[in-house]
Amino acid sequence: PTNYRAILRKLAALGRADEAFELLRDMSEAGVAPDARAHTEVLTELLRSGDSASAAAHASALRQSSKPSARDLPLFNVMLQSLLKEGRTTEASELLGELRAAGLEPSARTLNILLTSFTSRGRLPEALEVFNSYCAAGGSPGAVSYNVLISAFARRGELVN
């Protein structure tokens, strides 16, 4: 699987998403089921290379083909990021429910993905709602979360001395 992951990463980084997806299918057919890490690396590289459409399509396909319990938090996070980059908020919301159903809790990274998505689209009230819900559930936001919100308020001219 490690060698496959290196090839998958490279294909995705080179923008050859179709070949990466074909290799994932070939792996499954050969009895070498791609693990969560392989999918995480493909999605990450697709996002890095600017191919958020392919990343979102793969995230959607993963939602249909894999059980939430087979996904780990890094995979959930990059799936979420992929969907949100393409504005697929309904699917992203459903994915958050699947994350919790799998017995996982959103992390500070999950919060940052959500905050960045909402604030980049000018949806500050939703970002604040997510932030407050995360804190109310016992989450501990980090400096990145606060910086995302402060920057959003500053862009709107709503920072007060």
Mean pLDDT across 50-57: 91
- Between the alpha carbon of residue 125 and those of residues 68, 119, 138, 154, the distances in Å are 29, 9, 20, 14
d(C-alpha 7, C-alpha 90), whole Å:
32
pTM above 0.85, yes or no: no
pLDDT recorded at residue 129: 93
Residue 160 in this model has a pLDDT that exceeds 80: no
pLDDT recorded at residue 1: 58
Contact status, residue 76 vs residue 111, Cβ threshold 8 Å: no
Residue 130: half-sphere exposure toward Cβ, Cα within 13 Å = 26
2's CB contacts (< 8 A; 6+ apart) are none
* Choice between 89 and 80, residue whose per-residue pLDDT is larger: 80
